[in-house]
Amino acid sequence: MSAFAPPASAADAPPGEPGEAAIQRGIRLRKAGDDAGALPEFQAGYQLAHTPRAAAQLGLVEQALGHWDDAEVHLTEAVRTTGDAWVEKNRTALQKSLAVVKDHVGTLQVTGEPEGAEIYVNGRRRGQIPMSKPITVMAGDVDVEVRASGYKRAAQKVTIAAFAYRPLVIRLERLLEGSSASATGKDEQRSGETAPDATARQVEPAPVVSAVAPGAPPTTTDQRHGSVWPIVGWSVAGAGAVAATVGVVEALAGQSKIDAASTDADRANATANATLYMSAAAKFSDGSSQRSTGRLLMIAGGVAAAAGLVVALATGHAGGAPTAPVARWQPSIDLALGPLTSARLSVVGRW
């Protein structure tokens, strides 16, 4: 890693530049082999002056310490800068360091509910819902936790591959009301006072019954409108099948790009061609994203197709004997319950 580090010289930095003293202390510590001691010095210099040089020096020491996610952010900030004399002088070395770092990171984007919930990754606060853009995280197993006042905390461990983009959906569950509030509601009902909210939560509304001839069994609203659900079910099943097909095509196309990128990377390593290596890395990232999208479409489409079949077949037989219970099926899919390679389907019946 140190072979990729640019010369730690202050010749291009103005003597009185804010944070320069901290940067110089960090450079001396790195020359002495104390990368851990140099980190806080470069952090202080970066906080005092967000210059491209300060970002680069901070990213290089983070790379040396294996803080890949932070190193990717700061080295990318430096490399994207144009017109800075120090960056232009050391651009090739910085790009090589960034390429090494990108082999150890992926990106994560968390969505869900409620808005404003705080997102923690490996114990560090990294943003809130909704996230404005994906964040860089170290490849491997990542602990994600979402917190919000009035909601139960949710934590999940996900595995993120290098160059991969990982979307994650987490919906928090509201905390239950206190036992004292429930007791008060029961006392009010016993004393003859109505608690509309509590009643609405605890009592299912009775089905609407139409006027019928004497001796004929009543016809509920569910029975009168049951014929709509088979149509909905077959429509969902068809849409799911189309999405799964598109997902297969996308996944195959993404895998093809990944295979091509691997071939280019082997040639780049053999010829020490940095430009070809960067091109291969970009192609690998694009292919990984396309393959992940394809897999997500395959999973979502397959689950939707299965759910549609359940709805169509179950409701298609709901209009049997008038005395039989009528079922209304409600499929629901929540990818937050597991990794993207799996999904669960819950079917709720109402009689």
Q: By CB neighbour count within 10 A (0-12 exposed, 13-18 middle, 19+ buried), where does 273 fall?
A: middle
- The CA radius of gyration of the chain, in Å to the nearest whole number, is 29
Which residues, in sequence order, are CB contacts of 321 under 8 Å at separation 6+? none
Structure tokens at 347: 């079917």
The pLDDT, as a whole number, for residue 2 is: 43
Tell how strand 154-160 and strand 135-138 pair up.
Answer: unpaired
The pLDDT, as a whole number, for residue 316 is: 64
* CATH superfamily, region 105-171: Carboxypeptidase-like, regulatory domain (2.60.40.1120)
Whether residue 146 contacts residue 125, with contact meaning beta carbons closer than 8 Å, is answered with no
Segment 229-248, tens digit of pLDDT? 788 888 888 998 999 999 89
For 71-87, letters b (16+ CB in 10 Å) and e give bbbbbbbbbebeebebb
The pLDDT, as a whole number, for residue 157 is: 92
The CA distance from 306 to 238, in Å, is 10
The pLDDT, as a whole number, for residue 317 is: 52
Which helix (H) or strand (E) segment holds residue 168: the answer is strand 165-171
The CA distance from 266 to 193, in Å, is 78
Give the length of the chain.
351
State the sign of the Cα–Cα–Cα–Cα dihedral 248, 249, 252, 257: negative
Give backbone dihedrals phi and psi of 33, rounded to 5 degrees, phi first: 85, 10
Tell how strand 345-348 and strand 124-128 pair up.
Answer: unpaired
The CA distance from 235 to 37, in Å, is 62
The pLDDT, as a whole number, for residue 7 is: 43
The pLDDT, as a whole number, for residue 29 is: 94
Which residue ranges of the chain lie beneath pLDDT 70? 1-16, 178-227, 316-351
Segment 306-331, tens digit of pLDDT? 988 888 887 765 444 444 444 444 44
Strand order in the sheet with 165-171: 135-138, 105-113, 165-171
Structure tokens at 318: 């709901």
SS (H, E, C) 65-126: HCCHHHHHHHHHHHHCCCCCHHHHHHHHHHHHHHHHHHCCEEEEEEEEECCCCEEEECCEEE
The pLDDT, as a whole number, for residue 8 is: 45
The CA distance from 77 to 119, in Å, is 23
Which residues, in sequence order, are CB contacts of 141 under 8 Å at separation 6+? 157, 158, 159
Which helix (H) or strand (E) segment holds residue 138: the answer is strand 135-138
Q: Can you tell me which residue has the tokens 């299965």? A: 306
CA 328 from centroid of its chain's CA atoms: 33
Tell how strand 105-113 and strand 165-171 pair up.
Answer: parallel
* CATH superfamily, region 2-102: Tetratricopeptide repeat domain (1.25.40.10)
Give backbone dihedrals phi and psi of 50, rounded to 5 degrees, phi first: -80, 60
Residue 174 one-letter amino acid: R
Q: Give the three-class secondary structure for 212.
A: coil
The CA distance from 342 to 351, in Å, is 30
pTM over 0.85: no
